[in-house]
A = this chain, B = another copy of it.
Amino acid sequence: MSSTTPASNTTAPTQFLQVNGQSYAYRRFGNGLGIPLLCLQHFTGTLDNWDPAVTDPLATGREVILFDNAGVGRSTGEVPVTIAGMARHAIAFLDGLGLETCDIVGYSLGGMVALQMVQDRPSISRRMVLVGTAPRGGEDIMHLEKPSLATRIQDPANRGYDVLKKIFFTPSPESQAAAEAFISRLSRRKDDLDPPSGPTVANAQMGAFREWEQFEGPRFNELKAIRHPTLVVNGVGDEMIPVSNSYRLSENLANAVLLTYPDAGHGSLFQYPESFTRHTAAFLASKSESAVF
């Protein structure tokens, strides 16, 4: 990267990588001694849904790479209907960039993709941060039809980003104030924006969640073979992917530290970006084979 490229998701230009007849939209910014950090996004999220208060502090120690999976934002192709399909695209993207390994922040859907990636090709990642996500066979994954979520999502007063205030945060005044600040940060970027995801993206990704809930053999058994140092993060009040899934991850992954936040929902990283980026930076800076930092 040129040192004049602004190290912020508010201003970094969107780039496009051609691989296997596919065009992937991405942004890459920041610098430092760390290996590049691939950020894998949530359900229906695009490059523009990455909070600069999360990405930018991390970009002071390493390059941060944001990525639209196939069919999302300005990436071409069909949205895979399985996590495995999304993992194949993410690996193809990294291969196309010539990156043999990276660190990964996988948020929600993106955390599942990260887990699948390290199962399919362990060398693709060194350390992982898994936020608000679930293992295969997890419980109550993204059931937006359940009453507690459906009423908030279908409320006509919640337009655009406003719905995120209701489903990523808790009802407390403190959490809602953090939600306002989050939305304000997302709205800073004015140009070179991704198109918002529509029902085609949502339906395919929802199918991938349903498939991810299925499991064969001993539940969570595949996690025990993943030895990558992992930091698992969640809000204790996550109603989209309950915190119990983070418990199962930290109990069954061989090498995982768990951090949970109070009075926080699915968007804990956006509610407490200073804490999240400080802990994540400390975790990623470790050269140990242990997740403990």
Q: Which residues of B contact A256 (CB under 8 A)?
A: 262
Within the complex, the shortest CB–CB distance from A224 to chain B, in Å, comes to 11
Query: What 1/0 flags go to A269-286 for Cβ under 8 Å of B?
Result: 000100100000000000
Can you name the residue of chain B whose Cβ is closest to the Cβ of A288? B275
For chain A, residues 115 to 139, give those with C-beta under 8 angstroms from any C-beta of chain B: none
How many chain A residues sit at the interface, stated as a range, is: 20 to 34
A259 at the interface (CB under 8 A from B): yes
Residues of chain A in range 238-293 having any CB-CB distance to chain B below 8 Å: 243, 247, 250-251, 253-263, 272, 275, 290-293
Q: In the complex the two chains form, what is the Cα distance from A261 to B292 in whole Å? A: 7
B261 touches A257 (CB 8 A): yes
* A260 near B257: Cβ-Cβ < 8 Å: yes
Taking a contact as CB atoms under 8 Å apart, the answer to whether A236 and B251 are in contact is yes
Cβ-closest chain B residue relative to A255: B262
The answer to whether A250 and B257 touch across the interface, beta carbons within 8 angstroms, is no
A20-57 at interface with B (beta carbon < 8 Å): none
Q: Interface on A for B, CB 8 Å cutoff?
A: 174, 236, 243, 247, 250-251, 253-263, 272, 275, 290-293
28 A–B contacts from the bound complex (CB under 8 Å): A236-B250, A236-B251, A236-B258, A243-B247, A243-B251, A247-B247, A250-B260, A250-B262, A253-B262, A254-B262, A254-B263, A255-B262, A256-B262, A257-B259, A257-B260, A257-B261, A257-B262, A258-B258, A258-B259, A258-B260, A259-B259, A261-B292, A262-B290, A262-B291, A262-B292, A272-B292, A275-B292, A275-B293
Please name 20 further chain A to chain B contacts, defined as beta carbons within 8 Å, in addition to the given A247-B247, A255-B262, A272-B292, sorted by A numbering: A174-B290, A236-B250, A236-B251, A236-B258, A243-B247, A250-B262, A254-B262, A254-B263, A257-B259, A257-B260, A257-B261, A257-B262, A258-B258, A258-B259, A258-B260, A261-B292, A262-B290, A262-B291, A262-B292, A275-B293
